[in-house]
């Protein structure tokens, strides 16, 4: 949930790719679907706005939406255009954030109740890639499938190729260290090495591409807008192996 103080100015909220599909709604408005992203998404949030969102597990996207997830890559569409059954969902979202969250969860639960099932092999792949940096070829070998088959199934279920997902998850690990302050104990150069980047310049290029900001500015913005205001730890827990 994201609330903007009614006394503040409009706020540009940057959302870096996270490998997932998200259902997002400004309370009082129509829910939208944010497809798996390969570049940053910038939202203009008005004073007094309350935004609620529900992030699907990467491997669940196609199962919940009933369509290959790659068709929604880098797309921002009205939720009812993808799930017609949610046509009246906006009417059930009045002014209370709790009702908005419950309505989004209900829409997903209804899809799952009708038998939508995730690709188990893709789920195992995502689990391996999330737990620690690992080569896609190694994951394919562990799952006893070819890299070509793994790529086809992951792209259909998640919306991104395995290599793109590795890239996104590696950057999410960096964001986790930014939000926790863990990067400061190492510095940017050693953080880049620890995360598997070739060097600090490589991390900088990825940061600009995936967030729209260089690392120093991303850290400054995080300190200014997030530290002490939002708890991002649930989003990053699996990436850091903390639960």
Which residue has better confidence, 6 or 145?
145
Has residue 231 got a pLDDT over 80? no
How does DSSP classify residue 80? Answer: H
Which residue has better confidence, 213 or 83?
213
Using alpha carbons, select from 72, 71, 68, 67 the residue that is nearest to residue 22. 72
CA distance 22 to 201: 30
- The helix-helix angle for 120-131 and 162-180 (nearest 10°) equals 40
Using alpha carbons, select from 202, 225, 203 the residue that is nearest to residue 215. 203
pLDDT in tens, 24-44: 888 777 888 999 999 999 888
pLDDT in tens, 110-143: 776 676 678 899 999 999 999 888 899 999 999 9
| Per-residue pLDDT, 96 | 65
| Per-residue pLDDT, 243 | 41
Kindly tell me the burial class for residue 157, based on how many C-beta atoms sit within 10 Å of its own C-beta (0-12, 13-18, 19 or more): buried
Q: Going edge to edge, which strands form the sheet with 2-3? A: 2-3, 50-55, 22-26, 32-34, 76-78
**pTM of the predicted protein model:** 0.84
Query: 3-state DSSP call for residue 209?
Result: helix
Using alpha carbons, select from 181, 153, 170 the residue that is nearest to residue 69. 153
Percent of the chain with pLDDT over 70: 82
Q: Please report which confidence band the pLDDT of residue 208 belongs to, taking 50, 70 and 90 as the band edges.
A: very high
pLDDT in tens, 55-68: 898 998 998 888 89
pLDDT in tens, 142-167: 999 999 999 999 999 999 999 999 99
Has residue 17 got a pLDDT over 90? yes
């Amino acid at each position: 949930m994201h609330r903007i103080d009614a006394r503040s100015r409009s706020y540009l909220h940057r959302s870096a790719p996270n490998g997932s599909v998200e259902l997002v709604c400004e309370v009082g408005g129509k829910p939208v679907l944010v497809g798996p992203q390969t570049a940053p998404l910038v939202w203009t949030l008005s004073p007094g706005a309350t935004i609620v969102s529900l992030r699907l597990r990467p491997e669940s996207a196609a199962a919940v939406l009933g369509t290959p997830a790659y068709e929604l890559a880098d797309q921002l569409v009205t939720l009812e255009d993808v799930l017609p059954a949610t046509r009246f969902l906006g009417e059930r979202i009045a002014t209370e954030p709790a009702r908005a969250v419950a309505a989004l969860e209900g829409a997903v639960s209804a899809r799952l109740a009708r038998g939508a099932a995730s690709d188990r092999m893709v789920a195992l792949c995502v689990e391996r890639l999330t737990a620690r940096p690992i080569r896609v070829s190694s994951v394919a070998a562990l799952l006893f499938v070819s890299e070509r088959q793994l790529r086809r199934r992951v792209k259909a279920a998640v919306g991104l190729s395995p290599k793109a997902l590795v890239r996104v998850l590696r950057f999410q690990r960096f964001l986790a260290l930014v939000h926790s302050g863990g990067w400061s104990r190492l510095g940017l150069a050693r953080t880049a090495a620890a995360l598997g980047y070739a060097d600090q310049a490589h991390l900088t290029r990825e940061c600009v591409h995936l967030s729209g900001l260089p690392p120093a500015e991303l850290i400054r913005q995080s300190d200014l807008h997030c530290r002490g205001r939002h708890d991002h730890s649930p989003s990053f827990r699996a990436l850091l192996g903390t639960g």
